Chains A and B, each alone.
Chain A
């Protein structure tokens, strides 16, 4: 298609050669198929089986295979507040990451375009936090937000925060942590679309009576939609299942528990494997439905 636009009217597009079934192609696919079966399909089936298990009537704490679909109803009844909270926190974090990430990506991809060195440097700065463990960085924020920390100190000296009140363990700190941790995932795909945006299109927009704001709305934004789309998905999906930021050891508290924390607790602490498995599958289904709806609404199926 790109070539038909490129070539003149007279140039016929060469017919693609008929595809031949080659045993080599299948052979080359084998490692991938094997990998998927071993590391994706098998655990998924195992998870489905676990989610339907029932408690062993004889030994306490053991489970036997069954078709105990009530597990799903039970976990939904018990954990719906955490599920809703997860969706809400993830949505907030995605929104804030977009509000911060888009201007940042725009700055790096368009404003810094005449200065390639600065552009590379800015990009490195976006990626730089990845060189330090995610856990360490989140713990560092816990320190910064702690009662003795600088933020609380400044806020209470200004009288904005009563002394001794913690910033950690609040909705604010959890959403902050999620936003902070996922900003690079928002910035990079948006940057990728903006860096290849033809600036002459913006000039054309201005030339055709579009003010900078109008040109942004009618040209820049639609042309970076693919990046925004990938960025929001890359932020929302992991944020919805995240269990680090919301955990009590990090930035959360009991009343900020997210679905990831519940799944973790059921697997590792309560050892209620069917409940944990059921919750995992519900989370997966929820995200799949949401993403499918989002992609369909944006009309950009070909992006994924």
Chain B
């Protein structure tokens, strides 16, 4: 038995565990991944979330065998595959660019992997996979005759049809418009639970990662900052990066002034902010605490002191943006800085106006303490999206608008 063979055995019965041990990848001039350890249990939907350049796509390419690690080992289902080539690994990828073969029909594209493994009823299985993504009626067409969303589904069918132990998704929804994207997210999730494969999804879209994945790993600068179920990551971020990248956060930095068994208090530019000890990563010195914008309540007058709530104020509303379901307020509190508040529009009377003086409060239990300090730069309301795929989407939209005008 040589390990030079293309996997010819039938389909994977179920997904396989993926284990990365001490993976390091250096490119000439920079290190993309540093000492990465990661275990993804079989059958899970795992999302690797991070900004562009954080090393997430490199991680994916290493697992697929399209890049070789500088150091470390990759195990799939307990078997070391580090030394094997891409075509020998029981892994398939849904590429960001789809990478459909332009000279083949949709059916030939989907049957490609099966034929390479010498599976006899390849065409029948390919039709089945196309039915799964509801595209069997275009089986005879060429990829260029399909829309972006259809191509994306073909790319998915082409990978899923092989029933790989591990399916890698490289921002496959990046080029789709919002509506199609939501629809595909649901479909992907359905397919995953239907076929029971291990999915590893790489994305920079935190909402996508949270809606789809069982486990999310937030990656930054070649390392995993925090990993866990989406709710846990959202409610209790461990680092400033996670707090800012996954949703929005109001962060306050100050010295710990008192500690009790249940809570600790920091002094953030004169305002006392309390945080549960169990929800803080560090308990002394200068620390950063935070709270999510939707947890913060606005008050017209100074609220009566409540031992269970943090109160800050007075501050002035500097920006109001109404979005239907909720209203986003920007409140500037002297010495503390800008604080973002999301208020549900449950009644008309709760609407505040630009320039109003308000007080802010939130339940102490909703606060979290971070392991690192927030950067000096303020938390921007919209993080700059400089990912190439997003730029591509933007330019495509511009082009479409231009074409419609013409």
Contact = CB atoms under 8 A, between A and B. Distances in A.
B403 A14 contact: yes
Interface string A187-206: 00000000000101101111
Among A2, A3, A218, residue most surrounded by chain B Cβ atoms (within 10 Å): A218
Interface string B85-108: 111100111010101111100000
Interface string B249-283: 00000000000000000000000000000000000
A208 B180 contact: no
Interface residues of A, number: 30
B86 A8 contact: no
A219 B113 CA distance: 13
Interface in B134-155: 143-151
Which range holds the interface residue count of chain B? 35 or more
A5 interface: yes
A11 B159 CA distance: 28
A290 to B, nearest CB: 25
Given A7-B400, A8-B400, A11-B403, A203 B101 contact: no
Interface string A216-239: 001100110000000000000000
B267 to A, nearest CB: 53
Nearest to B97: A200
Contacts of B400: 7-8, 11
B306 to A, nearest CB: 51
Contacts of B151: 5
B101 A219 contact: yes
Contacts of B180: 8-9
B338 interface: no
A60 B149 CA distance: 79
B66 to A, nearest CB: 5
Contacts of A208: 87, 92, 112-113, 116, 158-159, 162
Interface string B114-145: 00110000000000000000000000000111
B404 A204 contact: no
B348 interface: no
A148 to B, nearest CB: 51
A210 interface: yes
A204 B403 contact: no
Interface of A: 1-9, 11, 14, 198, 200-201, 203-212, 214-215, 218-219, 222-223
24 contacts: A5-B145, A7-B400, A8-B177, A8-B400, A9-B147, A11-B400, A11-B404, A14-B403, A198-B99, A203-B86, A203-B95, A204-B100, A206-B66, A207-B86, A208-B92, A208-B113, A208-B159, A209-B7, A209-B113, A211-B85, A211-B87, A212-B87, A214-B87, A223-B102
